[in-house]
A and B are shown apart, each in its own frame.
Chain A
Amino acid sequence: MSDYALVTEGLTKAFGGFTAVRAVDLKVRRHAIHALIGPNGAGKTTFFNLLTKVHRPTSGRIVYEGADITAETSAAIARRGIVRSFQISATFPKMSVRDNVRVALQRRLGTQYSFWRSMRSLAVLDREAMALLADVGLADYAEANAADLSYGRKRTLEIATTLALDPPMLLLDEPTQGMAIDDVDRIKRLIRRIAKGRTILMVEHNMSVVADICDAITVLQRGEILAQGSYAEVSADPAVKAAYLGGGHA
């Protein structure tokens, strides 16, 4: 078994004449927190969408734990244990906070197509849902509608829902975007805590988050890898400095 959970080989996505992601070879070490950074329009989100099958790659391969998953559907990848979060908080707004988590737990029962069964059959999941909510500090809001939560709490709920699947690999798309400082710190600690025994690949703009919790960093620019390595290595790289400080404009 290789040390890498997720490997992409020559991953490329072209929209018409514009190549958003060009020949990206990325290796994400198992049980590491790996950050994907880069200036706006560098192709980070497109790359994420390739991994989660929102887009189909023009060429290249995606290999997860030794299996080629390039041709699989979004839902199939989620069932393999690669679960993503979204740039904008993704909850089920009209459901209660507890039911949000329960929907994720429900897949395990295998009754998701049972339209004849009573909803009471889901009550066996309540205790676990509450434990997950307590774990992220949302137990007091279990009965509230997800839509009524503050922004930071919605993101926290999203993480609790994701954890309900107990996924070996998490893809987090800008987990701290638009958050107040307090919330950023809380999410940072939460990510570090849930990273135990899991592989995390995250797109992140907040450099303090990247510096504090990420083990490896890949810098994308114009769809290509500009630099890779630890925070110290990457931040010392002249090409990265140029890209971020604007010195690289031709």
Chain B
Amino acid sequence: MSTTLKIFLVLAAFALVVPFVPGLIYPVFVMKVMCYGLFACAFNLLLGFTGLVSFSHAAFLGSAGYVTGALMIRFGAHPLGMPAALVLGVAASLLVGLAIGGLAIRRRGIYFAMITLALSQIVYFLAVQFRWTGGEDGLQGIPRGNLFGLDLTSDTTMYYVMLALFSAGFLFVDRIVHSPFGQILQAVRDNEARATSLGYDTDRFKLLAFVLSAGVAGYAGAMKALVFQLVSLNDVSLHTSTEVVLMTLLGGVGTIFGPLVGAALVVGLQNYLATIGDLVTVVIGLIFIVCVSFFRRGFVGEFLHVRRRRAERRARAAPRPEPPPNDAPVAEPA
């Protein structure tokens, strides 16, 4: 069993008992963390494992949320309504991802980021203009519906369904990273020119990663629409796109669990410090400054780095069979 799976099972075990101790952690809070955590994992798939900075992830989160929400309002009572709305929501985000990614992927660095930003602003504009998105009001009172007849009105039932959906999404991202495709993505991130010279069409790999990331972000958005029964313009706003950057960097970019930690931190601060109002932004800003000044790898990234260094030191201290030193001549080729 991989380390990732072990850690995940421990976390899942904790998550399973949450509804029994509502005084300690509020289940709705955990559901929020799961939605944003998955959203950040989707973003990290691009930034951490493909090396692309996108400012359009709110467009994916929001478009899926709107589609899922609008469908639930109309067909929510149907026993297949919820799964169908979820799937179609994800399909919408995949399409938006394909459109934005298809236009932006040929550009590099800051130009890529700016194109994704501009195109996601178009999605925002459409969300304001369209009738079915509710414009300024957004979609409110979205029914949670039922899953094959299982009523989802109660927070506890919803919680377990969301935990299952979240687990599937998280393990899916982990699989992408640790797949043959993920290997090529890492190669593209490390040295794109070299990956091309080995015969890989790097733009196609980046586009597929972009669309997959959009799909997972949409999946998180659809989950969020169901949990909170609400989709608003905030979900497609630039603010949300930058918040996910913050979560990912705080937790540790390019690590599997970092985005979850970052999302829990940001959502937690917003929830538990809600009483101080707008000052929350100041607190998060200060934490971010400390993070980029002193531990740039993020919480999880820094933890892994320290552990690796310690293991290396131990390996150096221990006597070992003689591997050749790095500056010794390479054995003569036969």
Contacts and interface: CB of A to CB of B under 8 A. Distances in A.
- State whether these chains interact: yes
A90 B193 CA distance: 8
Interface string A17-29: 0000000000000
Contacts of A119: 178-180, 182-183
B137 interface: no
A84 B197 contact: yes
A92 B190 contact: yes
A147 to B, nearest CB: 9
A113 B208 contact: yes
Interface string A133-154: 0011110100000001110110
Interface in B166-211: 175-176, 178-184, 186-187, 190-191, 193-202, 204-205, 208
Given A91-B191, A165-B198, A190 B333 contact: yes
Contacts of A137: 330-333
Contacts of A149: 326
A113 B206 CA distance: 11
A118 B198 contact: no
B22 interface: no
Interface residues of B, number: 37
Nearest to B175: A116
B21 interface: no
A90 to B, nearest CB: 4
A138 B328 CA distance: 11
A110 B178 CA distance: 16
B150 interface: no
Interface in A89-119: 90-95, 99, 102-104, 106-107, 109, 111-119
B65 to A, nearest CB: 24
A83 B180 contact: no
B200 A112 contact: yes
A4 interface: no
B329 interface: yes
Contacts of B179: 114-119
Contacts of A118: 175, 178-179
Contacts of A103: 183-184, 187, 195, 198
Given A92-B186, A137-B332, A150-B326, A161 B180 contact: no
Contact of B198 (A83, A156, A189, A193): A83
B176 A150 contact: no
B180 A92 contact: no
Given A86-B193, A106-B183, A111-B180, A75 B201 contact: yes
Q: Identify whether the interface residues of B are mostly helix, strand, loop, or mixed.
A: helix
Contacts of A85: 197
B327 interface: yes
A117 B178 CA distance: 8
A116 B331 CA distance: 39
Interface in A187-224: 189-190, 193
A94 B186 contact: yes
Nearest to A121: B180
A59 interface: no
Nearest to A150: B326
Interface string B303-328: 00000000000000000000110110
Contacts of B11: none
Interface in B266-324: 323-324
Nearest to B329: A182
Contacts of A148: 326
A115 B326 contact: no
Contacts of A92: 186-187, 190-191, 194-195
Contact of A122 (B183, B330, B334): B183
A241 to B, nearest CB: 35
Nearest to A109: B180
A138 B181 CA distance: 26
A106 B198 CA distance: 10
Contacts of B193: 86, 90
A131 to B, nearest CB: 12
Contacts of A127: none
B197 A74 contact: yes
B178 to A, nearest CB: 5
B190 A112 contact: no
Interface string B204-236: 110010001000000000000000000000000
B196 A75 contact: yes
Nearest to B334: A135
Contacts of B332: 137, 186, 189
A-B pairs, top 10 by smallest CB distance, nearest first, are A78-B199, A137-B330, A137-B331, A115-B181, A92-B190, A90-B194, A111-B180, A79-B199, A75-B201, A115-B176
23 contacts: A75-B201, A83-B199, A84-B197, A91-B190, A91-B194, A92-B186, A92-B194, A93-B190, A103-B195, A107-B198, A112-B200, A115-B179, A115-B212, A118-B175, A119-B178, A119-B183, A122-B180, A122-B183, A137-B331, A137-B332, A149-B326, A153-B326, A153-B330
Interface of B: 175-176, 178-184, 186-187, 190-191, 193-202, 204-205, 208, 212, 323-324, 326-327, 329-334
Given A90-B194, A121-B180, 18 more contacts: A52-B197, A74-B196, A75-B200, A78-B197, A78-B199, A84-B197, A94-B186, A104-B198, A106-B183, A107-B198, A118-B179, A119-B180, A119-B183, A152-B330, A186-B332, A186-B333, A189-B333, A193-B333
